[in-house]
Structure 1
Amino acid sequence: MIHVSADQNLYKIEELIPPQTELNLYNPSDGIPDLNQADALLLRTVTHLTADTFPNPPKNLRFIGTGSSGTDHLDNEYLEEKGITLASANGCNARAVAEYVMTSILLWREKEQPDESFGSVGVIGVGKAGSAVVELLTNFGIDCVQYDPPRAEREPDFSSVSLQEVLNCDILTFHVPLNRKGNYSTFHWLDEEKLKGRSYKLIINAARGGVINELALMKYYVEGDIQDYILDVWEDEPDFNTEVAKHAFIATPHIAGYSEQAKVNATKLVCDQLAKFFNLASGPVHYEIPERAEDLAHIQYDLTKLITRLHPILGYDKALRDLSGRPDKKVLFRNLRNEWPYRFEYPSLKIRKELLEEFPELKKLGVKATD
């Protein structure tokens, strides 16, 4: 029997954990659990494991899986030196993040420049999430360029545009990991030096807090060089900068990748890797998410009203702004992430056929017609 300690907030963990395991759930708010009996630890981004926070890993602990695409909360080199195999849910939320970006751009255009084109979009970081963003932008016929020098270095078939080409775009959207060292450091990648002398319609960060220098971003927004910005991630998360949030077109509490499908994918990916690592005969656990028909009243809709019925982005935005000035905003920020129900991704939603015909943008997002 394999003993597994898992974050209680890993979605559907009890349904998706392989049956040949003994599962112990822990509350991450209480810190790192007692792992003296654990063979494996499954966690989320709220748990940081480094030489300082986790100085003496028990010898029996052989596997750590994170239910997230990124691993910047883990000191990978340190943990691997301790003989621990690491696994992540890389790509689990790619579609959800892409939908967040496309939803944001559509809402921004509807409000700020309904009669103008989107302009060109520079996608910075073209891994699984960035690639999903490119796919959706292409569905909408939006001109976009792809910037990812490390991927171009790894993959001869991938071509990255130059730094100047991507910085010349009208809109920038970020999908890179947070790296503080190495040849491709992304910490404060977008800083005052890159912003100076340029103008942008919109800047979106749905990657990691710290990829953009938030104070420089706000400065150039106030000075008029940046028309709008949208932030889902924050430098000192969960202690987000309320002044930066106040000026944002949309500000959300790190939920771009939060969907029913993404959360199931995340837990399933780490559980499948756990099963493979420990040679569990049961193999992957199957879990199916049904489609959902949205019962939309027969009222006069515009695109903004429809989108915000299907995607809770503006609800999160309002909730985050309501935290400004609250002494317990860090706790409430986490609560927004943990307690709101997950949305369904667009391809799993169905609405009336006449609405799809009236608003073809929804069809491009993947929404289907009810039977």
Structure 2
Amino acid sequence: MFSPKPYFLLLKILADRNLYKLENFIPKDSELTFYDPGNGIPDHKNTDAWLLRTVTNVNEQTVPDLSKDLQFIGTGSSGSDHIDKKYLQKNGVKFADAKGCNARAVAEYVLTALLLLKFDEKVDIESLSYGIIGVGAVGTEVGKLMDAFGFNYKSYDPPREEIDPNFTSCSLDEVLECDALTFHVPYEEYGNHPTKYWLDETKLANRNYKVLINASRGGILKEEAVKASFNKGHIDFLVIDVWENEPDFDPEFAELAYIATPHIAGYSEQAKLNASSIVVQKMLNHFGTESTIDQDLYQSKYVDLAHITFSDSQLLKRLHPIMEYDAALRDLIGRSDRTELFRKLREDRPFRFEYGYLSLDEPLIKDHPFLKVLGISNH
């Protein structure tokens, strides 16, 4: 639990009901009210802090009447392109995100997809060169896992190079010449480094890719350009978790993908706890109170599979629901209500445990060495 300072601090907090176990992090002397984001923008009068998720867009059009009482808006997500930060600043509202909360979960999604390509499609993933585009919290974790597996990769992030003297980005040509690309950038339409349609017809021209993975934001890939390149045989495999017009995803694009999932790469028990923890900590810091975290919330899980024989592929699919989400998304293709069902998919599924919080019987790990590389421990 969070332990606020001993002085009295009554905060009136409005929160998305889907922020995971949020009540465990809120000081007991605060007034916490949950709302259903499916019902639109909530009444936020007489509210000090509003905690929301990416499904709620906050800008001058969606929330033209920001309450004068509101002092803080926090999103329980790593990305923040659903928030007009200049609009909040103009109205004197402090904003904070939960950047990095799901970094490990997304990195595990990427490596899980690659391992399934190896196990099911016989792709020689060890021989490929990888381009990591965006090397913030998520891209860094992807790099760590690629190091663990001995993969060869290049890191591309010019904006980070501008502010981090210890980081050197590869060149654009170097990253585009890689065999596989994985995207981990924020969505930016303007500025010195826009990412909207970063991968377009121009960058795809005269290039071939074994794998393209997008688990960052919809609109980073220009889907029509990627579809055209795929249909010409210039791209072998697509792994797509985010969509240009999400939640109204393009069924045709989904059908082309080897793996197509409903924006769940970052969904894990630990990532969701991190999101609630980080955004509440930032909120309390803004209001001048300190906090501590009850680490007992971060439980490990033993998976008893000792008496079952698995192939590598079968075992990985038991430990990560990536193909269950893929099947669920494909079931929506052709449905007129797919937009609403897409939202429900993101809300109704149980969260997986990250590999570092799983343990298996030792003989199973010996028989499947990739498990140890992913961080799964002996029971």
| TM-score, structure 1 as length reference | 0.97
CA contact (8 A) 1:356 1:363 kept: yes
The offset of 1:113, in angstroms, is 2.7
Write out aligned runs for 1:148-167 (5 A).
148-167=157-176
Deviations 1:244-295 (A, max 9, x none): 00010000000000000000000010111111111235x2342422111111
| Among 229, 245, 254, the residue aligned to 2:263 | 254
| Among 286, 311, 315, the residue aligned to 2:294 | 286
Q: Which residue of 2 aligns with 1:245?
A: 254
Alignment pair present for 1:354 and 2:351? no
| Among 62, 83, 86, the residue aligned to 1:77 | 86
Deviates more, 1:285-294 or 1:5-14: 285-294
Alignment pair present for 1:117 and 2:130? no
The offset of 1:368, in angstroms, is 0.7
CA contact (8 A) 2:215 2:240 kept: yes
Write out aligned runs for 1:1-371 (5 A).
1-114=10-123, 117-280=126-289, 283-288=291-296, 289-296=298-305, 298-370=307-379
The offset of 1:21, in angstroms, is 1.1
The offset of 1:302, in angstroms, is 1.2
Supply the distance in 1 between the matched residues of 2:94 and 2:375 (Cα, whole angstroms).
Answer: 37
The offset of 1:114, in angstroms, is 4.6
Supply the distance in 2 between the matched residues of 1:104 and 1:182 (Cα, whole angstroms).
Answer: 32
Supply the distance in 2 between the matched residues of 1:116 and 1:261 (Cα, whole angstroms).
Answer: 28
Deviations 1:89-147 (A, max 9, x none): 00000000000000001101222235563411000000000000000000000001100
Q: Secondary structure at the match of 1:117?
A: helix
Instruction: Name segments (4+ residues, structure 1) moved above 3 Å.
Output: 114-118
Q: What amino acid maps onto 2:192 in structure 1?
A: N
Supply the distance in 2 between the matched residues of 1:299 and 1:30 (Cα, whole angstroms).
Answer: 45
Q: Give the count of matched residue pairs.
A: 369
Q: Secondary structure at the match of 2:168?
A: coil
Supply the distance in 1 between the matched residues of 2:176 and 2:234 (Cα, whole angstroms).
Answer: 13
CA contact (8 A) 2:332 2:338 kept: yes
Superposition CA RMSD, Å: 1.1
Supply the distance in 2 between the matched residues of 1:6 and 1:156 (Cα, whole angstroms).
Answer: 38
User: Percent of counterpart pairs with the same letter?
Assistant: 50
Supply the distance in 2 between the matched residues of 1:115 and 1:157 (Cα, whole angstroms).
Answer: 32
Deviations 1:50-101 (A, max 9, x none): 1111112111100000000010000011111110100110000000000000
Q: Secondary structure at the match of 2:107?
A: helix
Q: Secondary structure at the match of 2:74?
A: strand
Deviations 1:138-177 (A, max 9, x none): 0000001100000000111100000000000001000000
Q: What amino acid maps onto 2:328 in structure 1?
A: A
| TM-score, structure 2 as length reference | 0.95
Supply the distance in 2 between the matched residues of 1:260 and 1:296 (Cα, whole angstroms).
Answer: 21
Distance 1:115 1:58, change over 3 A: closer
Distance 1:42 1:183, change over 3 A: same
Deviates more, 1:103-112 or 1:181-190: 103-112
Q: Secondary structure at the match of 1:19?
A: coil
